[in-house]
């Protein structure tokens, strides 16, 4: 997968040299480049923002630098990338979207700052590539950079070979539409607190059912909204009876 990121704060992405993403870059699984938007400005002050039409607080990011950046990183003669623009007004980023993006050959991230990017940048880009404004949640950040770090982590961990133990993808939260069950490791008793006996029983069927029950209870308590979409057929008969 190829990933290009455009930002006025490229140094925000130094963490992408670390850990599993850093290893994915080193072994070629992930080809990632970070670009400074100011590289597409031509004035002595390298201006990227201006006052908003219609008035209002703050500044808006000018369309010209963004237009040149997207032209350079998504040239007409190549297969267009998918353009992702973090925004409080975007569609919610979900694990399902992470899987969708993990299948894309080329992702292009536009990191806004100030009050956002001139809308015409997204409208013009949409004439030649898929554009998705994406939100991490109902809260407001200073800009898109942190959102891109989150999205990139969620997506790249799904790429083949990035996670040492791919099995962990199968049981994690949101993998089956539920939150994951509690996890335990040694010692068997810690500060007087025992590990649930079932997990030490060696009965894998009982353990699987216990984990499923715990996931259902935890999801019902913390995220009842996730249960509305759950297919009752996916529960085993004992779950429904309980």
Ligand X SMILES: Nc1cc(-c2ccc3cc[nH]c3c2)n[nH]1
- Residue ranges that bind ligand X, judged by CB under 6 A: 86-88, 112-113, 116, 135-137, 139-141, 143-144, 147
User: What is the C-alpha radius of gyration for the chain, rounded to an integer number of angstroms?
Assistant: 22
Cβ atoms of 153 and 30 closer than 8 Å: no
Residue 52 or 88: the one with the smaller Cβ distance to ligand X is 88
Q: What is the largest CA-CA distance in the chain?
A: 71
Between 137 and 220, whose beta carbon lies closer to ligand X? 137
- Sorted by sequence, the CB contacts under 8 Å of residue 94 that are 6+ apart come out as 174
Contacts of 13 (CB under 8 A, 6+ apart): 5, 7, 34, 145, 148, 149
The residue of the chain with the least Cβ separation from ligand X equals: 112
Query: Which single residue is written with the structure tokens 């996916």?
Result: 234
Q: How far is the CB of 66 from ligand X (least distance, A)?
A: 13
CB of 118 to ligand X, least distance (A): 12
Residue closer to ligand X, measured from CB, 11 or 77: 11
* Minimum gap (Å) between residue 183 Cβ and ligand X: 28
By beta-carbon proximity to ligand X, the closer residue of 10 and 86 is 86
């Amino acid at each position: 997968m190829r990933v290009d990121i455009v930002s006025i704060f490229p140094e925000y992405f130094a963490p992408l040299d670390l850990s599993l993403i850093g290893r994915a870059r080193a072994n070629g699984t992930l080809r990632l480049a970070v670009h400074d938007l100011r590289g597409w400005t031509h004035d002595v002050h390298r201006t990227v923002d201006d006052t908003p039409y219609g008035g209002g607080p703050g500044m808006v990011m000018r369309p010209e630098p963004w237009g040149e950046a997207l032209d350079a990183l998504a040239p007409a003669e190549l297969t267009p990338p998918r353009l992702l623009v973090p925004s409080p007004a975007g569609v919610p980023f979900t694990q399902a979207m992470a899987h969708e993006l993990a299948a894309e050959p080329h992702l292009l991230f536009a990191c806004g700052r100030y009050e956002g990017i001139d809308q015409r940048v997204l409208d013009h880009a949409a004439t030649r590539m898929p554009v998705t404004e994406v939100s991490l949640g109902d809260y407001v950040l200073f800009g898109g950079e942190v959102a891109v770090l989150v999205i990139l982590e969620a997506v790249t961990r799904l790429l083949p070979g990035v996670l040492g133990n791919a099995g962990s993808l199968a049981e994690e939260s949101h993998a089956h539409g539920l939150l994951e069950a509690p996890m335990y490791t040694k010692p068997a008793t810690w500060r007087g607190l025992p590990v649930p006996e079932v997990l030490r029983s060696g009965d894998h069927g009982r353990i699987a059912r216990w984990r499923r029950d715990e996931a259902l209870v935890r999801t019902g308590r913390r995220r009842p909204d996730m249960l509305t979409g759950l297919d009752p057929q996916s529960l085993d008969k004992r779950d429904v009876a309980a």
